[in-house]
């Protein structure tokens, strides 16, 4: 990945994306996707009523049940059709997502904007990882000096 600004330092990052599809026939694979996950991108179509319910189930499985931080999550409302722009995605999602950033995206019309939003999310996740690593190192140093 290109250079990302993480805490005022530019870093290159290697990112793996895994798609759980949201289809319950692949639910047996979900535990493998949970393992060592650092960030979660929820993608849904705001013009489909059932997508908001499906997103709630995925949030419960991947975030609530595991204690994963909502701070490392983002929702991309994929607006495929021009008519989708009139749909307010935040009103479709339940309160579960009230603290999760929600971004309207359209690959065909604004791919560069999607890229920037994705990079911003990755930079936030990397910043959190960097902070946790530094805290763990400080804890080790403090334990050794005690």
Contact 77, 110 (CB under 8 A): no
Delineate the domains of the chain, giving CATH numbers in brackets.
Answer: 4-145 (3.40.50)
* CA–CA gap between residue 104 and residue 44 (Å, rounded): 10
Q: Is pTM beyond 0.85 here?
A: no
The CB-based long-range contact list for 56-62 (8 Å cut-off, 24+ gap) reads: 56/93, 56/94, 56/96, 58/20, 58/22, 59/96, 59/97, 60/96, 61/30, 62/20, 62/30, 62/33, 62/34, 62/37
H or E element that contains 9? strand 9-11
pLDDT in tens, the chain (146 residues): 678 888 888 888 889 999 988 888 999 999 998 888 999 999 998 888 888 888 999 999 999 999 999 999 999 998 876 555 555 544 468 788 999 999 999 888 888 899 999 999 999 999 888 888 888 888 888 888 76
């Amino acid at each position: 990945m290109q250079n990302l600004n993480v805490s005022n330092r530019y870093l290159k990052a290697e990112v793996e994306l895994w798609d759980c599809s949201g289809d319950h026939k692949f639910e047996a694979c979900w535990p493998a996707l949970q393992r060592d996950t650092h960030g979660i991108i929820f993608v849904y179509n705001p013009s489909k009523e059932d997508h908001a319910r499906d997103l709630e189930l995925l949030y419960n499985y991947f975030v609530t049940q595991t204690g994963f931080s909502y701070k490392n999550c983002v929702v991309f409302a994929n607006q495929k059709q021009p008519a989708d722009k009139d749909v307010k995605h935040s009103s479709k999602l339940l309160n579960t997502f009230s603290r999760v950033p929600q971004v309207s995206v359209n690959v065909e019309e604004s791919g560069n904007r999607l890229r920037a939003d994705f990079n911003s999310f990755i930079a936030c996740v990397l910043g959190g990882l960097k902070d946790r690593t530094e805290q763990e190192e400080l804890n080790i140093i403090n334990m050794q000096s005690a």
